[in-house]
Amino acid sequence: MAGERTRERGELEGTVMRILWEASEPLSARDIQAVFTGHVPAYTTLMTALERLQKKGDVVRSGDSPRKVRFRAARSGDEHVGRSMMTALDGAGDRQAALLQFAGNLAEEDLDLLRGAITGKTSRKRR
Amino acid sequence: MIATGSFLAAAVLILLFSPLMLTAGRWQVRRPRTALTLWFCAFFAGIGFAVTSAAIALLGAVGGVNPASSGEALVLTLVGWLSLGVLAAVIALVSASAEPLADSWREAVGRFAPVAVSREHSHGVTLVWFDSEEPVACAVPSGEPEIFLSTALKELLSDPQLRAVIEHERAHLRQHHGWAVRIAEINALCLPKRFPAGRALKRATLLLIELIADDAAARRAGAVHLANALATMGHNTADPGLELRADRLTLRRWKKPRSQRAAALARA
């Protein structure tokens, strides 16, 4: 749970979506990374976020070879926000104070902490 | 002057070392309520020490304390007025950051209200159903607490699983988690980014309130139903956090939910 390099998962995904909505053409992960100001996410963290957005159907991936892989938003920003309440919530980073959502509030480091606690306890039980 | 310095040093020590101590190990996953209590004890203790330090310095500056020498009098005056300046800056920062959060709350609630398809009252809380293709549940803490639930959630989950999700959200409202998150948000906005304590408190709060609400819902509605709801939603939304929370519930022994125990007593 410690660390300065933290960024809530919903916040990162929201920022990525905003970058893709504003782009006129599909972007590579490196292009997206270059747009970030201030805290720049690690490449692997960014790829994880893009894969998750792809699974949700929010991002479309194109290109076969790793160097040519590009990402674009599946829908425009307006369509996206209108599509579901969840997406509308993801679009703003500071609404957690207002709405206590059942899902989507945990950062990558928290997931690692949970994984560690679960596997640690499971392995102790097996011994 | 020694007292001012001591209280200030205690506040700085808490600011620097409490995140390190409270995030050591993984015990907080097993004891989320204890962990959150310790986080907020450290937070309020830090605030208390800082305010006490400033108050003593101010007292010295306005003549409430007799300085031993003219040099000490000068230092006390400078520290006193400096403390007053810092206090004013913090109050201004808190006011400035609290207002956008309140706006954000109004905007978020405003987005939900027009799409509500039905409302029902249940144990002091209004359940608001809204039309959406995605399974969503969230609690809105306010004067009239509401839990917003999407129609997709009803289709995805069984009735006992749905009850477990509602109990999770109800736990957020009952235990005033909204306030904990707001305090953590404002703290993160006020502290410079070089201090990990600001973001660490916010992140710890967001994680721990979920685990606390999970535990409360598991006790009231049944751990199996909540774990199944988490796993189903995790599978549906590709959110690994939900499946991990489901796994966490399976690692602990749970008593039967209160409703089942009451039914068993009635049968006996």
Instruction: Report chain A's mean pLDDT, rounded to a whole number.
Output: 73
Q: Which tokens in the block code for residue B225? A: 């139903």
Residues in A closer than 8 angstroms to B185, CB to CB, are 94, 96-97
CB contact under 8 A, B242 and A83: no
Which residue in A6, A94, A110 is closest to B101 by CB distance? A94
Minimum distance, in Å, between the CA of residue B56 and any CA atom of chain A: 33
Q: What number of other Cβ atoms are within 10 A of residue A84's Cβ? A: 18
- Residues (pLDDT < 50) of chain B are none
pLDDT classification of A81: cutoffs 50, 70, 90: very low
Please tell me the predicted confidence (pLDDT) of residue B106: 59
What is the CA A95 to chain-centroid distance, rounded?
16
Domain boundaries, chain A: 9-126
Please tell me the predicted confidence (pLDDT) of residue A4: 39
Give the mean pLDDT of A31-52: 88
Among A32, A23, A25, A17, CA closest to A84: A17
The Cα-based distances of A78 to A5, A74, B111 in angstroms read: 31, 12, 14
pLDDT classification of A78: cutoffs 50, 70, 90: very low
Domain A9-126 architecture: Orthogonal Bundle (1.10)
Return all residues near B139 (Cβ < 8 A) that are at least 6 apart.
A99, A100, B145, B146, B147, B148, B169, B170, B172, B173, B178
pLDDT tens by residue, A97-122: 456 777 766 788 888 888 888 887 65
CB contact under 8 A, A4 and B244: no
Q: Is B131 on the interface with A (CB under 8 A)?
A: no
Minimum distance, in Å, between the CA of residue A63 and any CA atom of chain B: 23
CB contact under 8 A, A102 and B138: yes
Q: Is B149 on the interface with A (CB under 8 A)?
A: no
Identify from A102, A109, A122 which residue to disrupt to test chain B contact, counting B C-beta atoms within 10 A and taking the largest count.
Answer: A102
Residues in B closer than 8 angstroms to A89, CB to CB, are 108, 111, 138
Q: Which tokens in the block code for residue B186? A: 């404002």
**Among A11-15, A92-96, B108-112, B167-171, which range has the highest average pLDDT?**
B167-171
**C-alpha dihedral (B94, B103, B202, B206), degrees to nearest 10:** 150
Give the mean pLDDT of A47-59: 87
The Cα-based distances of B21 to A117, B196, B242 in angstroms read: 17, 12, 27
Residue of B nearest to A108 (CA): B241
CB contact under 8 A, B140 and A99: yes
Lowest-confidence pick of A46-50, A76-80, B38-42, B69-73? A76-80
Please tell me the predicted confidence (pLDDT) of residue B252: 80
Three-state secondary structure readout of chain B: CHHHHHHHHHHHHHHHHHHHHHCCCCHHHHCHHHHHHHHHHHHHHHHHHHHHHHHHHHHHHCCCCCCCCHHHHHHHHHHHHHHHHHHHHHHHHHHHHHHHHHHHHHHHHHHHHHHEEEEEEECCEEEEEECCCCCCEEEECCCCCEEEEEHHHHHHCCHHHHHHHHHHHHHHHHCCHHHHHHHHHHHHHHCCCCCHHHHHHHHHHHHHHHHHHHHHHHHHHCHHHHHHHHHHHHHHHCCHHHHHHHHHHHCCCCCCCHHHHHHHHHHC
Minimum distance, in Å, between the CA of residue A113 and any CA atom of chain B: 7
Residue A76: pLDDT above 70?
no
Please tell me the predicted confidence (pLDDT) of residue B158: 95
Three-point CA angle B248, A104, A8, nearest 5°: 105
Minimum distance, in Å, between the CA of residue B117 and any CA atom of chain A: 14
How far is it, in rounded angstroms, from Cα B198 to Cα B180?
13
Which residue in B28, B29, B134 is closest to A84 by CB distance? B134
Return all residues near A5 (Cβ < 8 A) that are at least 6 apart.
A39, A42
Minimum distance, in Å, between the CA of residue A119 and any CA atom of chain B: 10
Please tell me the predicted confidence (pLDDT) of residue A9: 60
Q: Is B25 on the interface with A (CB under 8 A)?
A: no
Please tell me the predicted confidence (pLDDT) of residue B98: 63
Domain boundaries, chain B: 2-263
Residues in B closer than 8 angstroms to A5, CB to CB, are none
Give the mean pLDDT of A92-98: 47
- Residues A91 and A76 sit within 8 Å (Cβ to Cβ): no
Minimum distance, in Å, between the CA of residue A53 and any CA atom of chain B: 9
Please tell me the predicted confidence (pLDDT) of residue A127: 53
Q: Is B258 on the interface with A (CB under 8 A)?
A: no
Which residue in A6, A55, A115 is closest to B238 by CB distance? A55
CB contact under 8 A, A102 and B130: no
